[in-house]
């Protein structure tokens, strides 16, 4: 019994002595903290490597519907009616939109107010690149105002300021649509997401060009009204920035700011045509659905 106690005391003394030597060793003083740090993080590293990276579908299609509000730059409106001896310009005129729900919401059919839709396809989800059909049903109405009229009217030179409309029945409307159609290239950046990716915040930039499809309705001073009609009537180019919040991988809301330049020509009027070009700033709010498709990839 005494022999066992002596052996235990000898072992205890050996460990104490060696521990003191290790503790005083300069190399151990440097390496020990690192060893403790590695020991603490190795399990976490192993677990992180074992956890599979989330996979995403290779492609994605989406559709949205929303409503818009517009502001237009001043512009010139040129009227050419050779058979009537008219070739004049309304200079520096101002137009306004017609939201349709500015009095009370949801009192009209969904297609009457200023609406918009987007149909898109992400052909490269990893790089965030998509192609999009982008349509805005906007409205343009020539505002009541004093305007400078210059050119030839009824075969006579004219250069004067008039009040539009000085004939109460005169009007100039693209009111069933100034109608911007664009074919856009889209770039997306992922900004924020929850760990399970049930909520994601993205930024999108869009640029495109396309035809204008206005509904033309006008009646100039002392003339009959034109035959109201839709027509392809020029080209427009647009630049759009969007913030999109996606919920549960399929439903999203987005807020957009858009700049569009619209150049109309050949718009039919009584006995002739009209041309006009203006810039437009839009604010847009959309709700949409998105559907990942194709095989999964990391």
| pLDDT tens-digit readout, 97-150 | 998 765 555 555 666 789 999 999 999 988 999 999 999 999 999 999 999 999
* pTM for this model (two decimals): 0.77
In DSSP terms, 236 is beta-bridged to 210, 262
The half-sphere exposure of 110 on its side-chain side, counting CA atoms within 13 A, is 4
Q: Report the phi/psi class of residue 249: left, alpha or beta, with left for phi > 0 and alpha for psi in -120 to 50.
A: left
pLDDT of residue 55: 65
- CATH numbers and ranges of domains, the chain: 2-50 (no CATH), 58-297 (2.40.160.20)
pLDDT of residue 13: 54
When computed from its CA atoms, the radius of gyration of the chain, rounded to whole angstroms, is 35
**Nearest by Cα to 197 from 252, 238, 247, 260:** 247
Computed over every residue of the chain, the mean pLDDT equals 84
Cα dist from 257 to 188, 228, 239, 254, whole Å: 15, 31, 9, 10
């Amino acid at each position: 019994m005494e022999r066992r106690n002596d052996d235990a005391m000898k072992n205890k003394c050996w460990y104490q002595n060696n521990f003191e030597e290790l503790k005083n060793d300069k190399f151990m003083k440097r390496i020990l903290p690192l060893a403790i740090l590695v020991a603490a993080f190795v399990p976490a590293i192993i677990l992180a490597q074992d956890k599979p990276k989330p996979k995403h579908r290779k492609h994605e299609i989406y559709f949205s519907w929303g409503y818009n509000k517009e502001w237009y730059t001043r512009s010139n409106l040129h009227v050419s009616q050779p058979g009537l001896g008219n070739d004049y310009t309304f200079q520096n005129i101002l137009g306004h939109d017609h939201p349709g729900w500015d009095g009370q919401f949801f009192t009209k059919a969904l297609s009457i107010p200023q609406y918009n839709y987007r149909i898109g396809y992400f052909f490269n989800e990893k790089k965030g690149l998509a192609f999009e059909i982008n349509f805005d049903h906007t409205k343009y109405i020539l505002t009541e105002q004093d305007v400078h009229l210059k050119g030839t009217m009824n075969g006579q030179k004219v250069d004067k300021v008039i009040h539009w409309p000085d004939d109460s029945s005169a009007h100039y409307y693209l009111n069933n649509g100034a109608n911007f159609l664009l074919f856009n290239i889209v770039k997306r950046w992922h900004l924020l997401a929850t760990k399970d990716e049930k909520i994601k915040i993205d930024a999108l930039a869009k640029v495109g060009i396309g035809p204008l499809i206005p509904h033309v309705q006008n009646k100039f001073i002392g003339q009959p009204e034109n035959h109201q009609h839709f027509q392809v009537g020029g080209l427009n180019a647009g630049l759009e920035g969007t913030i999109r919040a996606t919920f549960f991988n399929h439903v999203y809301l987005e807020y957009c700011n858009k700049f569009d330049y619209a150049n109309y020509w050949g718009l039919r009027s009584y006995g002739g045509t009209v041309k006009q070009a203006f810039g437009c700033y839009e604010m847009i709010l959309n709700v949409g659905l998105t559907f990942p498709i194709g095989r999964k990839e990391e």
